[in-house]
Structure 1
Amino acid sequence: MSADDIYPIPCAFCNISSAYPAETSPIPSSPDPEKVDPQCHLILSTPHVLAFLDIMPISPGHILLTTRNHYRKLSDLQPPTPTHTDWASQRTASTALETSRALGEYLPLLSRALCAVTGIEDWNVVQNNGERAAQVVPHIHFHLIPRYQEGRKETQRNGRTDYGMLKSWRMFGRGSREDLDDEEGEVLAGELREALKGEIEGRCGKVKL
């Protein structure tokens, strides 16, 4: 059985990339979550990377940071250096390099925005490569998973247990996962966009986006 037999086709993250093209600002302005099914609660949209809420979060605020172009694994992100006459390969290599830089640039900014919105002190950044490493969508993506402080009071939302407020020391991929509530997701994504905008403006010396 090949990887193509196991992985879903077409790629869900490529569908999101196509539905939400890059705008002038990296922070999308009131993105329509119903452009794709299931809904996408977009936080970041640049020429090279996107970020949005996981539709089956391990804890509230679980974010995915992914590449706009399709790469399966991190090892696919840096193609061999092209010859000076191979313009197509040069363009591909340049895009891969800029994508790598964008991932490194936005992971800390998203982390700070996540902490500001959720009030967490600890979080996981997880990236899987291949089916044996628990990669489900065959498109590079990083998980930013909030880990809530011990002793935080368990609450109820819409009659359901807020599992993110329970002990969160479980290993990645274990414990309860539930579908993201779209109304809650829309509110949370909006708060994260505002926090991320503040982080970007601070980095750029308060340049207005």
Structure 2
Amino acid sequence: MSSISERYPVSCAFCKIAKAYPAESSPVPANPDPELIDPGCYLILSTPQVMAFLDIMPIAPGHILLTTRPHYEKLSDMYAPPKSSDWASEKTATQAKEVSQAIGEWLPIVSRALCAVTGIEDWNVVQNNGERAAQVVPHVHFHLIPRYQEGRREIGGKGKVDYGMLKSWKVFGRGSREDLDEEEAQVMASSLREALKVELGGGKAKL
């Protein structure tokens, strides 16, 4: 049986979030305190398998991270059929399979909530594996990055889009991201939680 330290490595930022915000009876946390951890965490989803929260250095407003609750460094570290039939191997494989399925189930749900809150029609889903692939936190996670219409303009009247003028059109790298504004984050996280409740059939979003 794995220890707590193995399940949630102390050095992993996302494992610290998992420890600070245990899964609740509802997947959408009621009113999570962002100051339970430093830097603050603006949580929007919390289940035994996955979590979602705002990126602390967003590429665009509403930039969400959907991550596994158990620690897996890379996508390839997740589910694989057990190589032996012992109880521990089968339990580990079963857990990893449940987490993998949960990621797939929640990606479209969180995406719809993001679109409902921000009004976007286009967004990126990005998943990086390893330093050379721009993975900063060594814990499997997916970036959901809204791409706003604001800033588009035509070039030469030919209907072409100057993507350099699109404010949210940024890529991973130095100088392309800004610190999360705490007041804006509170509002955004609250709106996203309400939108998730609507997706799950639990009420109307207060957008």
Q: So what's the TM-score if we normalise by structure 2? A: 0.83
Where do residues 5-84 of structure 1 align in structure 2 (5 Å cutoff)?
A: 10-84=11-85
Contact 2:50–2:67 at 8 Å: present in 1 too?
yes
Bigger relative contact order, structure 1 or 2 (CA pairs below 8 A, ≥6 apart):
1
Cα distance in structure 1, aligned partners of 2:131 and 2:122:
27
Secondary structure of the structure 2 residue equivalent to 1:201: coil
What is the aligned-residue RMSD (CA, Å)? Answer: 2.1
Contact 1:58–1:175 at 8 Å: present in 2 too?
no
Match of 2:91 in 1: 91
Residues 35-77 of structure 1, C-alpha deviations (whole Å, 9 max, x = no match): 1000000000000000000000000000000000000000000
After superposition, the Cα gap between the structure-2 partners of 1:150 and 1:34, relative to the gap in structure 1 and judged at 3 Å, is closer
Match of 1:184 in 2: 184
Cα distance in structure 2, aligned partners of 1:197 and 1:175:
35
Residues 25-44 of structure 1, C-alpha deviations (whole Å, 9 max, x = no match): 00001001001000000000
Cα distance in structure 2, aligned partners of 1:175 and 1:116:
29
Residues 126-154 of structure 1, C-alpha deviations (whole Å, 9 max, x = no match): 000001100010000000000001447xx
Across the two proteins, how many residue pairs are aligned to each other? 184
What is the deviation of 1:168? 2.8
What is the deviation of 1:9? 6.2
Residues 1:106 and 2:109 are matched in the alignment: no
Unaligned runs of 5+ in 2: 1-8, 153-164
Match of 2:141 in 1: 141
Match of 2:159 in 1: none
Cα distance in structure 2, aligned partners of 1:9 and 1:95:
21
After superposition, the Cα gap between the structure-2 partners of 1:183 and 1:167, relative to the gap in structure 1 and judged at 3 Å, is closer
Contact 1:127–1:141 at 8 Å: present in 2 too?
yes
Partner amino acid, structure 1, of 2:26: S
What is the deviation of 1:175? 5.7
